Amino acid sequence: MTPTQTTSWNTQRIQTLLDLPLPELLWQAQQVHRAHFDPTEIQLSSLLSIKTGGCAEDCAYCPQSAHYDVGVTAGKLMDVDAVLAHAQAAKDAGAGRFCMGAAWREPKDRDLDKIAAIVRGVKALGLQTCMTLGMLTAEQAQRLADAGLDYYNHNLDTSPEFYGRIITTRTYQERLDTLQHVRAAGMAVCCGGIVGMGESRADRAALLAELAALDPYPESVPINALVRVAGTPLEHAPDLDPFEFVRTVAAARIVMPRAWVRLSAGRKELGDGIQALCFLAGANSIFYGDTLLVTGNAEVEADRALFSRLGLRAQGLPPAADAPAAGSVTRRTIALQPEN
């Protein structure tokens, strides 16, 4: 189902949400989440870099940029069979969506034949497909759609006001143009941003307002925590209060109620406790296992253990006998023993 927005969310309204006491913000987010999703179900995606390094963009957070010396060797686009082997491993580990990223400013038309073959091969394994290849023309977006690509990822990264401090080689409007091409071609949109780059709470509100204003808003919204990589301009970015990350997730859930809100880059560094709060705040998708582009991701067994401790399950698996139905809000009354 394509999400639609019935409430107008501007930056000021979203900042009012972000300023709420955390218990109140989480309660509002939980109510929205339970109205549209099973709160115990998490969608699992796996991400593979199919072309690493050498990107012409100067994104200040990115170790794949050719502008920075971080020890990443530029590689060529992977062969189809190698990508499919990774996709099969991801499926065997429980992932339902396979996301593929290439470090390009934009793909060359000559690359799209191999890209299309990769998409068809991954879909034949029974996985949903997502790609992030940089900017797209309308014709390139249509070729990807014709190959059967389900999702295209192209993040806005941050607010329009803060954007120029992070990227100078691509404008905000160019990002919006690519999203428009993706939507016109009939693909689902995966679009989110990064928190912890030195932006303000107002910038995070403005980013969410931009996402919510897309018509329709994205089906998938990745919320990334900055991973500070030595050699990039943001290697010494100030620490982000982890509760600010939780607040961002909760606000994303409220303003985009039917979107899959995904914990993406930086999830490993959040720790189990903050991840649990994010799930309470409405996050219901994670990148799972393998390698998140060129930064680490939580190992599969650690994720499974965390799910078990929290009573969560992967999308598509049978619910536990006492799990609530999707869209329902349940409360359990527990009789407390008197203190001795």
Q: What is the pTM for the complete model shown?
A: 0.86
Cα 296–49–63 angle (5° rounding)?
Answer: 60
Q: Are 160 and 202 in contact (CB under 8 A)?
A: no
Query: Which pLDDT value is given to residue 249?
Result: 97
DSSP-assigned letters across all residues of 265-281 = TTHHHHHHHHHHHHHHT
Query: Which pLDDT value is given to residue 327?
Result: 42
Residue 101 CA from chain centroid, whole number: 13
Alpha helices in the chain (DSSP H): 11-18, 22-36, 80-92, 112-124, 138-147, 160-163, 172-184, 201-213, 242-255, 267-280, 300-310
Q: How far apart are CA 337 and CA 221, in angstroms?
A: 43
Query: Which pLDDT value is given to residue 63?
Result: 83
Contacts of 68 (CB under 8 A, 6+ apart): 62, 231, 232, 233
Query: Which pLDDT value is given to residue 53?
Result: 79
Query: Which pLDDT value is given to residue 71?
Result: 74
Query: Tens digit of pLDDT per residue, the chain (340 long)?
Result: 456 555 689 999 999 999 999 999 999 999 999 999 999 999 888 888 888 877 888 888 888 788 887 777 777 889 999 999 988 888 887 788 899 988 888 899 889 999 999 999 999 999 999 999 999 999 999 999 999 999 999 999 999 999 999 999 999 999 999 999 999 999 999 999 999 999 999 999 999 999 999 999 999 999 999 988 888 999 899 999 999 999 999 999 999 999 999 998 888 889 999 999 999 999 999 987 555 444 444 477 788 888 899 999 988 654 444 333 444 433 333 333 334 3
Residues with a catalytic annotation lie at: 55, 59, 62, 99, 130, 190, 262
Q: Are 55 and 75 in contact (CB under 8 A)?
A: no
Query: Which pLDDT value is given to residue 6?
Result: 57
